[in-house]
Structure formats: C-alpha cells, structure tokens
Amino acid sequence: ELLDDPELLETAKAEIHKGKSAVFAWQKAFTRQADSLASLSNELLAARATDMRDIGEQTLKTILGLETTSMELPENTILIAEDLTPSQTATLDREKVLGFCTVLGGASSHVAILARSLNIPAIAGIEARALDVENDTPIILNGTTGQAELNADEVRIAAVKKEQAALEAKRTEELALCQEDAVTTDGHNVMVVGNAGGLDEVEQSVTHGGEGIGLLRSEFLFQNRASAPTEEEQTEVYGAMAAALDNKPLVIRTLDV
C-alpha cells in the first residue's frame, strides 16, 4: 500500500520529466517519503520509515534487475544490528538464526511483528554499544526480559538450555490442553478470548484455544497506506477473520490512532 501513495509516484515522475534516470528519480522519491515519515511525532507512524526504505530498496533492485539475496550466517547465530528491514527479517534462516537484537525499532514495528510470527526471540531498542560486540562472543538472549547476557560460560549455557527444555515441555503440555474449557475450581466456565491486530493473530488465537476475539485493533487496516481502505477491502478482511473464527464472537474496535 505504501507504493500506491500518489505523492510518492508524482515525485518520481517529476524527476523523470526533468531528465533524471528512473533509478535516481525513484531513490529520491522513496528517500524523501521515508524521511518525512521518520520526522512524525506519532511513534507508530514514524516507525513506518523503515518499511518505506525497505520497499524502496526492493523496488530499486527490481528496476536495476538485481536479485535479492538473504544474509549468509553461521549456525547458532544471535544477530546484532542497528536495524533490520522487514524483508531481511522474513528471510532469516531459522535453522541458523536463534534470535536477534536491534538498536532501532520497537514492539509495534513490522520487524517485531514478524519476529513474533516466526517465533524468533528478539530485542528491539538495545543499547548502541551492543554493536561493538565481537563476532563469536557467546550470548544468551532473553526476549522476555529484554536482556542480552554476554560471554556466558558453558555452565551458564547448560543451565539456560535446561530452562529452555523445561519451558518447551510446559508449552507442549499447555498446547495439548488449550482446546479444553476453562473452568474455575468451583465449576464456573470462563470464556477466554484473544486480542488481535491482524488475520494471523486471529488464526493463532483459534489455534491456541481462543473462544473468540474480544478486541480486534482495526487500525492495522489503515497503517502503511496513503488512503483509507475501501468498504470492500474491509469487508474482505473482516470476512476472512469471521470465517477463521467459525461463528465465534468477534469484537471490532473502531479506528484508534
């Protein structure tokens, strides 16, 4: 949807009419748009600057006829970077990358959302001095507490692996019971519903035993685009969610940005 912004396209066209190359025109257009987003006081909208730069770079490669390549990383990697684009995050090799930390970004960024959907432990907003950590430094990454522990010895690593195994066993046990009714000790049924901000989260809620969606954050439909979604677009998205819920309740919160 970011690419459909009339202002973005008009900026590129104007540069081409001045005799500039398509590559120059497009780079100027998306860079200007990204800088404009980054300057906004609304943190959620400002974070979209990374998305704009990512999409802009991907389009630039298409114009130049270049292939997009994923990062080549060794096994058991915990990646530390100033920032990651959504496309970089989506193409991380889950067989090799155990987790990542970024100096920039936040919990509401597309990178954070992708990390959660890919089940990759991640920390956004880590101290910039983390970029000075040397390659092959043993690191323990705790996505729950938002801490990265450097130079862990073998004893500490073994203890953490034991904790991981216990957590995985508990998760497996909980998943086996998640479709059961939630009942208090005195026999009262409790309805458990989810909080979602997209179709994928609705589907995850159902998979994990949710009995509906108690709060759907509808602003996701309005993000990363220059114009409001049409009635048809909204109907299609909400219809897909209703189908995934299979007659379970869906409570939609109106736009809140």
Q: Provide the CATH number for the domain formed by 77-165 in this structure.
A: 3.50.30.10
From CA 110, how far away is CA 107, in angstroms rounded? 9
Torsion of CA 223, 199, 236, 49, to 10 degrees: 20
> 5-42: per-residue pLDDT in tens?
788 889 999 999 999 999 999 999 999 988 888 888 77
Q: Are 96 and 118 in contact (CB under 8 A)?
A: no
pLDDT tens digits along 213-236:
999 988 888 876 667 889 999 999
For the chain, give every domain's residue range. Answer: 2-64, 77-165, 182-253
Rounded to an integer, the average pLDDT of 238-254 is: 94
Handedness of CA 110, 113, 118, 122 (dihedral sign): positive
Has residue 108 got a pLDDT over 70? Answer: no
pLDDT confidence of residue 224: 63
Mean pLDDT across the chain, nearest whole number?
86
Tell the residue number behind the tokens 């203890």, with chain if given: 159
Residue (of 67, 53, 112, 118) closest to 91 by Cα position: 118
Least confident of 108-117, 124-133, 174-183, 223-232: 108-117
Angle between helices 231-245 and 199-207 (to 10 degrees): 10
pLDDT at 246: 93
Q: Does 256 have pLDDT greater than 70?
A: no
Q: At what angle are helices 48-64 and 22-38 packed, to 10 degrees?
A: 170
